[in-house]
């Protein structure tokens, strides 16, 4: 019975797939019937282009043949092609998409298709189709794979090309396969300074030099153009930093050393390299590496954890994007164990360490990891692991940039460095994996935060808003600038305390403060950010600002209410959360008096039904 059904389905499929060749008869638009021998092509049409034809609408056809006299132009539309693509003429596409997709029956019974000739595609998708690539193909946009989409690179070649204006890459993958060797290009437009790299294929440092057209020049390394030069401009990294030196960075033994797929390395970008043979090297150049990439298997990164007792330096692993495309750190395709959950990269032009975790980034850090990007993860437990599949690839191109605004975020900038503090009811006073990011140790750091009683140094510090007193450590003089205050709920009140001068400042949108510190080497706990409001009001929190009035004179506070006449418990709490005064008073229209504090404090008024607090000074 199954055989009969399959035979009937197959007969129906082939019966409805009637060959209908449509050939161009003159130059013109795809949508114009006069361009074609028998009207505008349809989904069962075998199209032959023998003239100059502009694709001016989204459409589909059965197969495509471009004759030697043909010129097919795509002005930014999607053309779905079921079967073979043969190009003996010219195909020009800078904005469009070719979607090699068929029906389920077409995939089941249609066999393997071919792409032949010299083709310069923009975007290409493969879904429910298996194609053999036999010609020379370049792609300047994004290559995606839908369900059961497959590409075999046989006698042909595929190059993901790049320039200042575009970047060929692999995008989203959904049960797709890619077999064969590809060439992946990455355009580099970085500033003079250190940068983090990591390629999608195994390659030596010499390969990187060749791949950059001589723009990536190594010095101070055996086998390089200047092996005895006293400046080493490339380093590997060893997580067991205590065995190789305090920083963990390792000088390569030779430029023939292999940078394995998924591994990062540190390189000094410079427009003037000693003994390079060039007077100036533009920092606008292209890398091009060739290799194989498996988009159907899990990639396991090599990570480890060595506990030396120095938590700030232990556990750092230097990795690289193992795919010629953009990875999404938030994608469900990642699997991790024993890591802190944050992503750490480096902003070359700003010379600052970027971090990202839980939807928040600092110094331009985001959830996107572009191709050829090196990055760090931090292990915090024995036997750590991290792996991903091509399911983490996204179609968007990536560069370091700011994230969208989220709720209860305070971004604090000092020079080219920045940190974030934020409130979350699920956070604790210790490190919160998946919500916090530590400060990457290094000479470019200017500011970090801590939690009282704990030694972790944070770039992103998430705290429970019931205990929000966050010390800020700064290095050198500068201007602290506060942004994203508009993301805070109205019930919150933030204050900055300068521990050196004793001054208190309300943190409002656009607030900034200039300060001086002659020590440019060591960090100083110069400031504290205090948060008031939030959950400190308790489960029965109430807005009683209209019912309870606080009046001031030179020496006293008068607290009164025309709405209540009852005994209440009263506390005065300083910025460190310490209870300075506690007593019982009667809250009524006559009011009660308290000594006016000489510093900012929180006045708390409570009974079994009321829990009210306000800032007083």
Asked whether residue 181 is assigned to any structural domain, the reply reads no
Mark whether 301 and 423 lie in a shared domain.
Answer: no
**How many domains is the chain built from?**
4
Residue 590: which region, alpha, beta or left (left: phi > 0; alpha: psi -120 to 50)?
Answer: alpha
Pairing of the two strands 265-269 and 193-197: antiparallel
Q: How many percent of the chain have pLDDT more than 70?
A: 87
422 within 8 A of 355, measured Cβ to Cβ: no
| pLDDT surpassing 80 at residue 15 | no
Cβ atoms of 528 and 575 closer than 8 Å: yes
Stretch 1-15: mean pLDDT = 43
pLDDT of residue 611: 72
Average pLDDT over residues 187-205: 88
Name the least confident of 144-158, 365-379, 572-586: 572-586
Closest CA to 200 of 319, 355, 378: 319
| Structural domain range at position 574 | 540-616
Choose the most confident range, by mean pLDDT, from 135-144, 307-316, 452-461, 564-573.
Answer: 135-144
Average pLDDT over residues 597-605: 83
Shared-domain flag, residues 209 and 307: yes
466 vs 204: which has the higher pLDDT: 204
600 vs 76, higher pLDDT: 76
| C-alpha angle 372-386-353 in degrees, rounded to nearest 5 | 50
| Number of residues assigned to the chain | 617
pLDDT over 90 (residue 161)? yes
pTM over 0.85: no
What is the four-CA torsion angle of 561, 562, 564, 567, rounded to 10 degrees?
50
**Alpha-carbon radius of gyration of the chain:** 32
Question: Over the stretch 429-472, which tens digit does the pLDDT of each residue have?
Answer: 788 899 999 998 888 899 999 987 788 999 999 987 654 778 99
Predicted local confidence at residue 466, as pLDDT: 52
Query: Does 426 lie in the same domain as 502?
Result: yes
| Residue 527 and residue 575 in one domain | no
Terminal CA-CA length for the chain = 87
Helical (H) or strand (E) element with 448: strand 447-449
As given in the structure block, the two tokens for residue 137 are: 């193909």
Same domain? For 522 and 545 the reply is: no
**Together in a domain, 413 and 343:** no
Looking at residue 551, the DSSP 8-state letter turns out to be E
Q: Which of these three, 536, 569, 584, is where a domain ends?
A: 536
What is the reported pLDDT for 488?
78
Q: What are the E-state strand segments in 535-600?
A: 549-552, 556-560, 566-573, 579-587, 592-595
Query: Looking at the predicted structure, is the pLDDT value of residue 396 above 90?
Result: no
Domain membership flag for residue 210: yes
**pLDDT tens by residue, 111-123:** 789 999 999 999 9
How many percent of the chain have pLDDT more than 90? 58
Kindly state whether residue 222 falls inside one of the protein's structural domains: yes
Binned at pLDDT 50, 70 and 90, residue 1 comes out as very low
**Of 196, 140, 184, 136, the residue nearest 163 (C-alpha):** 140
- Please give the average per-residue pLDDT across 204-213, as a whole number: 92
Place of tokens 């330096």: 313
- Residues 211 and 267: beta-carbon distance below 8 Å: no
Residues 473 and 447: their CA atoms lie apart, in Å, by 6
Does 253 fall in a domain?
A: yes
The answer as to whether 182 is a domain residue is no
Q: Could you give the CA distance from residue 439 to residue 311 in angstroms, rounded to a whole number?
A: 11
Return the pLDDT at 104. Answer: 60
Instruction: Identify the domain boundary among 365, 388, 404.
Output: 404
Looking at residue 405, its pLDDT comes to: 45
The CA distance from 80 to 82, in Å, is: 7
Say whether both 83 and 99 belong to one domain: yes
Average pLDDT of the segment spanning 197-203: 95
> Where does a domain end: 482, 507, 536?
536
Mean pLDDT of the residues in the chain: 86
Give the pLDDT confidence of 70-83 residue by residue, as tens digits.
999 998 999 999 99
Exposure class string for 137-165: b at 16+ Cβ within 10 A, else e: bbbbbbbbbbebbbbbbeebbbbbbbeee
Q: 237-289: per-residue pLDDT in tens? A: 999 976 655 578 899 999 999 999 999 999 987 766 555 455 555 567 788 99
Q: Both 392 and 415 in a single domain?
A: no
250-264, 396-410, 482-496, 592-606 — which is least confidently predicted? 396-410
């Amino acid at each position: 019975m199954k055989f009969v059904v399959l035979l009937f389905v197959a007969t129906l499929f082939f019966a409805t797939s009637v060959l209908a060749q449509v050939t161009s008869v003159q130059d013109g638009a795809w949508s114009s019937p006069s361009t074609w021998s028998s009207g505008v092509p349809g989904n069962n049409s075998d199209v032959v282009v023998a003239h100059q034809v502009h694709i001016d609408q989204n459409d589909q056809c059965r197969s495509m043949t471009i004759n030697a006299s043909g010129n097919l132009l795509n002005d930014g539309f999607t053309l779905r092609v079921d079967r073979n693509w043969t190009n003996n003429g010219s195909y020009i596409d800078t904005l469009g998409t070719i979607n090699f997709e068929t029906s389920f029956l077409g995939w089941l019974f249609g066999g393997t298709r071919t792409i032949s000739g010299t083709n310069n595609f923009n975007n290409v998708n493969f879904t429910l189709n298996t194609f053999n690539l036999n010609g020379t193909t370049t792609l300047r946009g994004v290559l995606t794979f839908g369900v059961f989409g497959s590409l075999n690179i046989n006698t042909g070649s595929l190059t993901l090309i790049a320039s200042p204006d575009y970047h060929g890459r692999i995008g989203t993958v959904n049960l797709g396969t890619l077999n064969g060797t590809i060439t992946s290009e990455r355009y580099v437009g970085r500033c003079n300074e250190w940068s983090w790299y990591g390629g999608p294929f195994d390659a030596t440092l010499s390969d990187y030099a060749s791949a950059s057209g001589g723009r990536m020049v190594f010095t101070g390394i055996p086998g390089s153009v200047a092996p005895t030069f006293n400046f080493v401009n490339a380093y590997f990294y060893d997580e067991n930093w205590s065995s190789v030196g305090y920083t963990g960075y390792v000088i390569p033994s030779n430029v023939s050393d292999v940078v394995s797929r998924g591994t990062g390395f540190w390189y000094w970008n410079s427009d003037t390299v000693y003994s390079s043979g060039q007077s100036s090297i533009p920092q606008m150049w292209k890398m091009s590496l060739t290799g194989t990439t498996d988009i159907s298997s899990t990639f396991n990164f090599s990570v480890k954890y060595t506990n030396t007792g120095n938590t700030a330096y232990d556990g750092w692993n230097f990795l690289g994007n193992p795919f010629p495309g953009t990875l999404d750190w938030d994608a469900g395709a990642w699997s991790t164990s024993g890591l802190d959950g944050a992503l750490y990269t480096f902003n070359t032009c700003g010379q600052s360490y970027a971090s990202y975790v839980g939807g928040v980034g600092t110094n331009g850090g985001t959830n996107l990891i572009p191709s050829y990007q090196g990055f760090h993860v931090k292990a915090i437990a024995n036997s750590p692991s991290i792996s991903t599949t091509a399911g983490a690839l996204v179609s968007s191109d990536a560069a370091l940039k700011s994230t969208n605004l989220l709720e209860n975020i305070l971004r604090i900038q000092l020079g080219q460095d920045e940190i974030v503090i934020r409130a979350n009811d699920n956070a604790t006073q210790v490190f919160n994996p998946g919500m916090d990011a530590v400060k990457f140790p290094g000479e470019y750091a200017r500011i970090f935060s801590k939690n009282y009683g704990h030694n972790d140094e944070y770039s992103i510090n998430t705290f429970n808003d019931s205990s929000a007193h966050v010390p800020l450590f700064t290095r050198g003089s500068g201007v602290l600038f506060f942004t994203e205050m508009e993301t805070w709920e109205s019930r919150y009140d933030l204050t900055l305390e300068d521990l050196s001068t004793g001054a208190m400042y309300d943190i409002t949108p656009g607030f900034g403060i200039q300060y001086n510190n002659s020590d440019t080497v060591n960090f100083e706990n110069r400031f504290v950010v205090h948060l008031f409001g939030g959950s400190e009001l308790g489960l029965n929190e109430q807005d009683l600002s209209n019912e309870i009035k606080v009046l001031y004179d030179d020496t006293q506070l008068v607290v009164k209410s025309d709405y209540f006449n009852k005994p209440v418990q009263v506390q005065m709490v300083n910025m460190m959360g310490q209870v300075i005064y506690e007593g019982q008073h009667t809250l009524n229209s006559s009011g009660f008096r308290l000594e006016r504090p000489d510093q900012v404090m929180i006045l708390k008024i409570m009974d079994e039904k009321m829990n009210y607090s306000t800032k007083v000074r």
